[in-house]
Amino acid sequence: MVTFFSYTSKFLYRHVAKPVLFSMQPDGVHNGMLAFSKVVQKPRIMRRMISGTLAYKNPSFLTQTIHGITFHNPIGISAGFDKNIEMLPMLRSIGCGLMEGGTVTNIASKGNPRPWFHRLPSTQALVVHAGLPNHGIDTILARLASIPAHVRGDFPLNISTAPSNVASIDTTKKMIADCVAGLKKIKKSGVASMVTINLSCPNTTAKEPFTNPKELDQLLAAIDKVKLPVPVFLKMPNQLSWRQFDGLLKVAVKHGIAGVTIANLVKNRSLVDIKDPLADTTLGGISGRPTFAPSNELIRKTYQKYGDQLTIIGVGGVFSAEDAYEKIKSGAHLVELITGMIFEGPGIVGQINRELVTLLKRDGYTHISQAVGAHLRK
């Protein structure tokens, strides 16, 4: 019965909602969806109905405990979908195994001038030029603290943070101090299950200084002193050469970082297959299908060298269970997505989980952990 509802919701999204939503400007659709979610997620009966229709549970195959956190399934929402962490109840209800909220910053920021998003339908991608807009850590943490315990449940919340994208934070030293100030507030609030430092936002004025090993070392040395009681992850850039990427991983391991999220948007358009017209004047990084192959390659290489030291969250171009499984077999314990949900609707999370179990059974596995890194054991 649940499967019937799940496939019906997918059909309705694809053939009824999506044609309407995709005829509108993406920034407006995102705002509308946020407003809709904030209303619908409030009544318990709505959360129950959504969960009963869309969520898929199979603890014996899909539940993992990693760094002391129980993830009921491996599929989460990636950073940027819920920038102010206002949709936690909704994302839990649709059956996510975790959410990465944010990216939030110590000082609130309006982000770049609109529009922030452009759709590339034939490429199955978005162009993103938001520039870390968010209400600021104080406001966001206060809101999170007000969520009742039964609504939050044991849903893992990964808070993504970065230096504030404001004119006054204009040197590496100030960026480190600002990031540390935000992390101290997150520590004090106790609302995060884990935190992710976004090293790689391609749309800020600061030009990603922490994608250099020397600056990253300085940032992580300062973060070490905060003594966060939760696992710390790094959101890694996409499309770096392995030599550059490995240089960053070495620094991460030196500082006892728990894991890496691979990877962010692609920036170099000439290296990926873009099937839609896209003017050079349309600024921003590209999500979705073009991120899939480069992120998988970095996941594989990272798992091969650091599989016993770093937990990998695989991100980029996941539209199906096969795509998620590819990331898992390349070395990811957890998988996050955004563009797949925008293109396929909220039923995608439950559907991926359901079909992942079928794929695991097909390959003779009895638990998801047995498939992690399977490509490298061939």
Ligand X SMILES: Cc1cc2nc3c(=O)[nH]c(=O)nc-3n(C[C@H](O)[C@H](O)[C@H](O)COP(=O)(O)O)c2cc1C
Contact positions toward ligand X, by CB under 6 A?
Answer: 78-80, 83, 103, 117, 126, 128, 130, 132, 160, 198, 201, 235, 264-265, 287-288, 291, 315-318, 337-340
Q: Least distance from C-beta 208 to ligand X, angstroms?
A: 12
Q: Least distance from C-beta 203 to ligand X, angstroms?
A: 8
Place of tokens 């938001």: 130
Q: Least distance from C-beta 241 to ligand X, angstroms?
A: 19
Q: Pick between residue 47 and residue 211 the one whose CB is nearest to ligand X.
A: 211
Q: Least distance from C-beta 83 to ligand X, angstroms?
A: 6
Q: Pick between residue 235 and residue 329 the one whose CB is nearest to ligand X.
A: 235
In the complex, which residue's CB is closest to ligand X?
80
Q: Pick between residue 79 and residue 216 the one whose CB is nearest to ligand X.
A: 79
Q: Pick between residue 47 and residue 249 the one whose CB is nearest to ligand X.
A: 249
Query: Distance between CA 317 and CA 336 in Å, rounded?
Result: 9
Q: Pick between residue 302 and residue 339 the one whose CB is nearest to ligand X.
A: 339
Q: Pick between residue 47 and residue 237 the one whose CB is nearest to ligand X.
A: 237
Q: Least distance from C-beta 49 to ligand X, angstroms?
A: 26
Q: Least distance from C-beta 150 to ligand X, angstroms?
A: 29
Q: Least distance from C-beta 117 to ligand X, angstroms?
A: 6
Query: Distance between CA 69 and CA 115 in Å, rounded?
Result: 37
Q: Pick between residue 2 and residue 209 the one whose CB is nearest to ligand X.
A: 209
